[in-house]
């Protein structure tokens, strides 16, 4: 493997300086049958960010447990989707949050991909995506008006719950591994953090 390839492989998130848009980057003509692409990336403000194709085991276990928790209480009031799934805000901003919740009232955005603003987005941090999730994507979600955004820290076993207040995110609460995450906006939400994080114990 060349030195350039080795350097690139060390990073899970890689910024491309070229300007990108979702439609301009598509290699498929209109009406073409889409095929699975192993490559994963996001576009924020026209800049492409590449991701490793495989998250860690702990990351995926937590995604699965989160889906179980949310589906158990919120499946009747909305749709819960896990990555990889494109959330298409506009042609210059296409992201793949770890978990997505869309209420039944907002279901019109559910198409082949998600085209519009979901009600709740959840990102699970990894060492290489922390800045991307906590700064760049938080600012993006705030700007497009995502009502609620949770940032999950696997290492410290905490969840930061941000809610949109007057066009800006306010930290509602930081949960540790002994509480239950509740939401004023979404009464169905009741995520037991102890049960959530205990799914990681056998891999410590």
The pTM score is 0.80
Enclosing domain of residue 159: 55-203
Instruction: Give the pLDDT of residue 133.
Output: 79
Is 13 part of any domain? Answer: no
Instruction: Give the pLDDT of residue 5.
Output: 43
Query: Using 50, 70 and 90 to split pLDDT, how confident is the model at 76?
Result: very high
Q: What is the DSSP string of the chain?
A: --HHHHHHHT-SSEEEEEE--HHHH--S-TTPPP-----EEEEETTEEEEE-SS--HHHHHHHHHHHHHHHHHHTTTEEEEESS--EEEETTEEE--SEEEEEGGGGGGBSSSEES--SEEEEE--TTTHHIIIIIIHHHHHHHT-SEEEEEETTTTEEEEEEEETTEEEEEEEE-TTSEEE-SS-TT-EEEHHHHHHTTGGG-
Is 6 part of any domain? Answer: no
Instruction: Give the pLDDT of residue 41.
Output: 87
Query: Using 50, 70 and 90 to split pLDDT, how confident is the model at 53?
Result: low
Is 176 part of any domain? Answer: yes
61: CATH:
3.90.1570.10
pLDDT digits (tens, 9 = 90+) for 120-154: 999 999 766 667 778 899 999 999 999 999 999 99
How many domains does the chain fold into?
A: 1
Is 15 part of any domain? Answer: no
């Amino acid at each position: 493997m060349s030195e350039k390839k080795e350097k690139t492989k060390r990073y899970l998130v890689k910024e491309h300086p070229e300007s990108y848009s979702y439609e301009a980057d598509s290699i498929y003509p209109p009406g073409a049958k889409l095929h699975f692409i192993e490559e994963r990336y996001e576009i924020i403000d026209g800049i492409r960010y590449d991701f490793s194709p495989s998250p860690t085991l702990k990351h995926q276990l937590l995604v699965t447990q989160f889906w179980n928790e949310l589906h158990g209480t919120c499946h009747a009031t909305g749709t819960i989707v896990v990555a990889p799934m494109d959330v298409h805000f506009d042609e210059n901003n296409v992201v793949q949050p770890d978990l997505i919740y869309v209420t039944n009232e907002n279901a019109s955005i559910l198409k082949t991909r998600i085209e519009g603003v979901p009600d709740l987005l959840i990102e699970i941090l990894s060492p290489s995506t922390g800045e991307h999730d906590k700064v760049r994507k938080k600012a993006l979600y705030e700007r497009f008006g995502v009502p609620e955004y949770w940032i999950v820290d696997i290492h410290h076993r905490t969840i930061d719950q941000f809610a949109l207040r007057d066009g800006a995110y306010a930290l509602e609460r930081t949960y540790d591994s002994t509480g239950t995450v509740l939401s004023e906006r979404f009464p169905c939400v009741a995520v037991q953090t102890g049960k959530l994080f205990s799914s990681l114990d056998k891999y410590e």
